Amino acid sequence: MGGVLASRNGGDASFDQNYDITWGYDHVKSLDEGRQIQLSLDHSSGAGFGSKLSFGSGFIDMRIKLPGKDSAGVVTAFYLTSHSNNHDELDFEFLGNREGKPITLQTNVFANGQGNREQRMYLWFDPAADFHSYKILWNQYQIVFYVDDTPIRVFKNHTNIGVSYPSQPMQIEASLWNGDSWATDGGQTKTNWSHAPFQAHFQGFDINGCSDHQEPNVEPCYSTSYWWNTQKYWTLDSAHQRAYENVRKKYLTYDYCSDRPRYPTPPPECPQ
């Protein structure tokens, strides 16, 4: 049986309690006694970190401040991923842009190795100006991506109609890297290295998650003794539903569900 790593109200865990640096060690700086981590990207390397444990459910939260100025080609990522052949993954990817142009937030959902579920949107604030919370709720009923307290994406459990649903233990990861082959204007706008090093900052290293590292599956992590599995979190309440519809109407720029050239028949999990 797994265990909870953090209380509902969270504490003030330092980075080293729950996370390790995974690559680009000399491009990582610990600030404020380990309560803030800075990742840097230059021509030689980016950097990344990951949680020490994997999780089977949770309400995962990270506070991020993106690289400022001209960040075209630069990708800041925060995601959950399983380390398996047919992997599960839940992605926040922030695609940098030329100064003065909006940064794109891309989300994606992989289940049993199948991805290609990109959605892209602009944000209603400058994500490089200050820290904002980016959260992923994951239980056996739904996956919800939040920006601060606004839900921006919902992926329901539709295994009943044959759609795979993320159910493998996943590690929490974050990284800063050069994605100029694709990230900005489809790869046409390249990284301007004269602005390097690019720096992303992360805070909030408490984890509201069920770590289930002894078990091969996540079943025990579906227990309603974990608050994020209780009925309140099975669907969006009416206020969150309104906020969700509003933000998508105003800021969504791409949704694989409505990409007819790519999917002449919409995938089964898409709204019919």
**Residues identified as active-site:** 89, 93
With b for 16 or more beta-carbon neighbours within 10 A and e for fewer, the 226-265 pattern comes to: bebbeeebeebeeebeebbeebbeebeeebbeeeeeeeee
* Cα 209 from Cα 56, distance rounded (Å): 7
Nearby residues of 99 by Cβ (< 8 Å), 6 or more positions away: 69, 70
Contact between 8 and 208 under an 8 Å Cβ cutoff? The reply is yes
The three-class DSSP label of residue 206 is coil
Contact between 38 and 201 under an 8 Å Cβ cutoff? The reply is yes
